[in-house]
Each structure stands twice: as structure tokens, then as C-alpha cells.
């Protein structure tokens, strides 16, 4: 799963043009790609960032112990697996929240209907 797919799953209904992702979404994309081991090229591609930017993020994740590097391949550390688990919980909660918000909004008529209607 690349970072654009993750962004779209976290922001349903928004424009497909990827304007800005959170660092957490980017970290998830990199870690998800590295689950079974990935070289730097594969991680850069999954990030959707220019190479220099992606390499900075990879370096930061190595320093923070989310990724491990062995013989030119990158793997998810235990701390990285914990992050993936927590991020998946966040995505589930966010999806449930958006569904409940939509249901509540559907129960309330739009403001113009409360004011006697609008000419459209």
C-alpha cells in the first residue's frame, strides 16, 4: 500500500490530488512496505516523495528505532510494529467517527431548510 492509498483511506471523499499527508501516514506507508523487507528504492517509491526527502524520513525512522537495516534491506522493528498496530486502531476509530458524523448530519436538515427554504 503506498502513501496515496493510505491518505485516501483516511480522507474519503476528498480530492484525489494529494496535497499534504501527515507524518504518521508517511511513516505507515514506509513501515508497511518494509514488513517483509524492502530496499531503499522500494521505500522511496512507497513514500511518493522525492528521493532526498524520502531518505531523510527513512533516516529519522532508523534513528527512532522504527526501522532496522540489515545488508541493504530495511525491516520493521518491534517499535515499528507497535506503531503500525496503533495507527490501524486510529484508522478504525476515525472511520467509525466519520460514519457516525455522517449519520448525525443526515438527521439534521440543512440550515436553509430550517429558515424556510432557499431559492436555488
**Burial class of residue 54 in the structure, from the number of CB atoms within 10 Å of its CB (0-12 exposed, 13-18 middle, 19+ buried):** buried
Residues contacting residue 18 through CB under 8 Å, at least 6 positions apart: 3, 4, 7, 48
pTM: 0.71
pLDDT along the chain (120 residues), means of 10: 57 55 91 95 93 95 97 96 97 95 85 60
Instruction: Output the pLDDT for position 13.
Output: 56
Alpha-carbon gap, residue 24 to 43, rounded angstroms: 15
Phi, psi of 81 (to 5 degrees): -65, -40
Residue ranges and CATH numbers for the domains of the chain are 3-108 (1.10.10.10)
pLDDT at position 108: 84
Amino acid at each position: 500500500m503506498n502513501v496515496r492509498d493510505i491518505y485516501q483511506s483516511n480522507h474519503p471523499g476528498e480530492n484525489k490530488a494529494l496535497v499534504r499527508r501527515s507524518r504518521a501516514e508517511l511513516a505507515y506507508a514506509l513501515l508497511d512496505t518494509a514488513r517483509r523487507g524492502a530496499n531503499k528504492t522500494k521505500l522511496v517509491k512507497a513514500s511518493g516523495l522525492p528521493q532526498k526527502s524520502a531518505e531523510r524520513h527513512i533516516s529519522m525512522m532508523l534513528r527512532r528505532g522504527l526501522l532496522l537495516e540489515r545488508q541493504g534491506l530495511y525491516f520493521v522493528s518491534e517499535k515499528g510494529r507497535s506503531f503500525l498496530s496503533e495507527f490501524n486502531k486510529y484508522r478504525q476509530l476515525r472511520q467509525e467517527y466519520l460514519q457516525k458524523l455522517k449519520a448525525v448530519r443526515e438527521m439534521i436538515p440543512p440550515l436553509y431548510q430550517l429558515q424556510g427554504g432557499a431559492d436555488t
